[in-house]
Amino acid sequence: MFDYDGVSAAEPAGPRHLRVRGGTALTGSIDVKTSKNAGVALLCASLLNRGPTTLRRVARIEEVNRILRVLTSMGVEHEWIGTEGDLRIQPPERLDLSRIDAEAARRTRSIIMFFGPLLHDYQQFELPFAGGCELGDRTVEPHLNALRRFGLSVERSQGCYRATVKENVEAPGSIVLTERGDTVTANAIMAAARFPDVTVIRNASCNYQVQDLCWYLERLGVRIDGVGTTTVAVHGVADIDTPVDYAPAEDPIEAWSLVSAAIVTESEITVRRTPIEFVEIELALAEEMGLVYSRGDEYLAANGRTRLVDLTVHPSPLHAAVDKIHPMPFPGLNIDNLPFFALIASCAEGSTMIHDWVYENRAIYLTELNRLGAQVKLLDPHRLHVQGPVRWSGAEVVCPPALRPAVVLLLAMLRAQGTSELRHVDVIHRGYEQLAARLQQLGAQIEPLSTTSG
Model confidence over 83-120: pLDDT tens digits? 889 999 999 999 999 899 989 888 888 899 999 999 99
Average pLDDT over residues 197-215: 97
CB atoms within 10 A of CB 141: 11
Is the pLDDT confidence value at 256 over 90?
yes
Is the pLDDT confidence value at 132 over 90?
no
Run of H or E residues at 63? helix 62-73
Query: Please, where in the chain does CATH 3.65.10.10 lie?
Result: 17-33+250-449, 36-246
- The Cα–Cα gap between 436 and 447 comes to 8
258 CA to centre of own chain: 15
Average pLDDT over residues 4-30: 72
pTM: 0.93
> Which band of pLDDT confidence, cut at 50, 70 and 90, is reported for residue 26?
very high
* Burial of 123 from C-beta contacts in 10 A (0-12 / 13-18 / 19+): exposed
Classify each residue of 162-184 as buried b or exposed e, where b means 16 or more C-beta atoms within 10 Å of its C-beta: ebebeeeeeebeebebebbbbbb
| Mean pLDDT of the residues in the chain | 92
- What are the phi and psi torsion angles at 383 (to 5°)? -125, 140
> Which band of pLDDT confidence, cut at 50, 70 and 90, is reported for residue 361?
confident
CB atoms within 10 A of CB 65: 20
Strand partners of residue 390: none
CB atoms within 10 A of CB 2: 12
Among the listed residues 14, 18, 37, 4, the one whose alpha carbon sits nearest the alpha carbon of residue 337: 37
Is the pLDDT confidence value at 15 over 70?
no
Run of H or E residues at 43? helix 36-45
Q: What pLDDT is stored for residue 451 in this prediction?
A: 59
CB 425 within 8 A of CB 397: no
The more confidently predicted of residues 450 and 39 is 39
- Please give the share of the chain, as a percent, with pLDDT higher than 90: 83
Tell me the longest C-alpha to C-alpha distance in the chain: 66
Is the pLDDT confidence value at 263 over 60?
yes
Is the pLDDT confidence value at 4 over 70?
no
Which top CATH class is 17-33+250-449?
alpha beta
Question: Which residues make Cβ contacts (< 8 Å) with residue 284, sequence separation at least 6?
Answer: none
> Which band of pLDDT confidence, cut at 50, 70 and 90, is reported for residue 232?
very high
Is the pLDDT confidence value at 13 over 90?
no
Q: What pLDDT is stored for residue 405 in this prediction?
A: 95
Sign of torsion over alpha carbons 38, 80, 273, 316: positive
**376-385 pLDDT, tens per residue?**
999 999 999 9
Structural fold of domain 36-246: UDP-n-acetylglucosamine1-carboxyvinyl-transferase; Chain (3.65.10)
